[in-house]
Amino acid sequence: MFGSTATLPSHAPDTPPQQASGSSHQTDNSQSHPDTDRPPYQTGQTSYDDTETQEDEEAVAQAEEGGSIVVDSDDVGTDAGYESDRRTSASTSMASSVRDYAFENGRRYHKFREGRYNFPNDDVEQEREDMKHAMVKMLCQQLHFAPIGDHPQEILDIGTGTGIWAIEMGDQYESANVLGIDLSPIQPDWVPPNVKFMVDDVESPWLHPRNHFDYIHSRHTVMAIKDWPKLFRRSLEHLRPGGWMELQEVHHFPSSADGSMPADHPVAQYWALINQGLANLGIDFHATGQGRLASMMRECGYVNVAEKVFHIPIGTWAKNRVLKTVGLYWRTILLDGIQAIALGPLTRGCGWAREDVELFLVQVRKAYHDNSCLMYMPLHIVYGQRPEANY
């Protein structure tokens, strides 16, 4: 364990070079490695905690759009360190929940409004969602960006999933009632007293009072929502004047920090097919990109709309220790979910047989381990406010 008195020399070897503005990435060829290069802890001017904080801050600055993720030149080859050939184990949860769930292609799905959402809700998927939460928190270092003040009263989390974000918000804001809504009853029973969950379809009319919520939040629901303008309008009606809505959405298409990814890269092909399958099912997976969510919010009447974009590395190619871990998490999340993500869009949306999906996934799994293309996906944080005056 790191003692609180442990220190590093102030000339920490991982300090990234000054970044040229507008450049997309930089390669550090110094052969140093953030884990192996660190000298034994010794007395000096910078404490280990300070160095960690500095690295956290550098991670945010490098990941934010317009910044530049410094590449670890030791880690841009093919990384075989992680294998995920795991097949589904949906049957493990069958006994306890057979009445509430539907089963398809060996995975468990929601039963309420069956078929509405195209991804599983079984234990494997829930673990993956919680890991995604940890990854986003590590990258953003906060649960929300909208300036909701210190004492929000009513918070709504749309598509709450396992409820992990809602529970942590309940802990952080004891003043608030936090309500999480989802199609699936997969939230824990033991939660803070100010947190509640409800099974409902957020794209159906809401029973909540109008002019009520201080803050409405939704994260990782771009693969679920069919009608964003309608959801924005409904949220606006149910926010109190001055209340905030925030979305945290990944644009699920791999970009390459140095433009080296060929169009026929299996990971790009995979996401193009998922996009096609979802489009056939009435969902626009590209809604996150090109400032579209922010534009829709403005058109709907929100004010003070802001957007922040963070680049999530896929794999371990980033030099910064935090971003390297974020990249490892994200690749693990994508690999663990490779089948869960593909099955619904490709079987329901494109008419593929399950066997064809499995066959296709073999090459995609391998391709995820190729660090050389410096792959990343952008995470879009978009928030806006209901005007104070009646609209």
Kindly list the residues in this chain that would bind ligand SAM in the complex (CB under 6 A): 110, 116-117, 129, 133, 159-161, 164-165, 181-184, 201-203, 219-221, 224
Task: Give me 138's structure tokens.
Answer: 């590590």
Partners of 28 in the beta sheet? 72
Please report how close the Cβ of residue 361 comes to ligand SAM at its closest, in angstroms. 19
- The candidate with the shortest Cα–Cα distance to 93, out of 107, 73, 105, 77, is 107
Residue 276 buriedness (CB in 10 A; 0-12 / 13-18 / 19+)? middle
Task: Give me 25's structure tokens.
Answer: 């990435």
Please report how close the Cβ of residue 290 comes to ligand SAM at its closest, in angstroms. 21
Residue number, 247 or 361, with CB nearest to ligand SAM: 247
Name the closest residue to ligand SAM (Cβ): 161
Residue 255 buriedness (CB in 10 A; 0-12 / 13-18 / 19+)? middle
Residue number, 41 or 103, with CB nearest to ligand SAM: 103
Please report how close the Cβ of residue 248 comes to ligand SAM at its closest, in angstroms. 7
Backbone angles phi, psi at 94, to 5 degrees: -65, -45
Residue number, 165 or 232, with CB nearest to ligand SAM: 165
Residue number, 204 or 211, with CB nearest to ligand SAM: 204
Please report how close the Cβ of residue 278 comes to ligand SAM at its closest, in angstroms. 12
Residue number, 71 or 169, with CB nearest to ligand SAM: 169
Tally of CA atoms within 13 A in the half-sphere of 23 that contains its CB: 13
- The candidate with the shortest Cα–Cα distance to 24, out of 70, 71, 68, 73, is 68
Please report how close the Cβ of residue 127 comes to ligand SAM at its closest, in angstroms. 11
Residue number, 38 or 116, with CB nearest to ligand SAM: 116
User: How far apart, in whole angstroms, are the C-alpha atoms of residue 282 and residue 115?
Assistant: 12
Residue number, 119 or 352, with CB nearest to ligand SAM: 119
Residue number, 110 or 311, with CB nearest to ligand SAM: 110
Please report how close the Cβ of residue 200 comes to ligand SAM at its closest, in angstroms. 6
Judge contact between 388 and 241, C-beta under 8 A: yes
Backbone angles phi, psi at 239, to 5 degrees: -80, 150
User: How far apart, in whole angstroms, are the C-alpha atoms of residue 111 and residue 37?
Assistant: 52
CA distances from 92 to 75, 190, 279, 341 (A): 37, 22, 32, 20
Residue 203 buriedness (CB in 10 A; 0-12 / 13-18 / 19+)? middle
**Rg of the chain over all Cα atoms, to the nearest angstrom:** 22
Judge contact between 374 and 256, C-beta under 8 A: yes
User: How far apart, in whole angstroms, are the C-alpha atoms of residue 68 and residue 9?
Assistant: 25
CB atoms near residue 330 (< 10 Å):
25
Please report how close the Cβ of residue 117 comes to ligand SAM at its closest, in angstroms. 4
Please report how close the Cβ of residue 160 comes to ligand SAM at its closest, in angstroms. 6
Residue number, 116 or 240, with CB nearest to ligand SAM: 116
Please report how close the Cβ of residue 58 comes to ligand SAM at its closest, in angstroms. 25
Residue number, 52 or 168, with CB nearest to ligand SAM: 168
Please report how close the Cβ of residue 341 comes to ligand SAM at its closest, in angstroms. 10
Partners of 378 in the beta sheet? 311
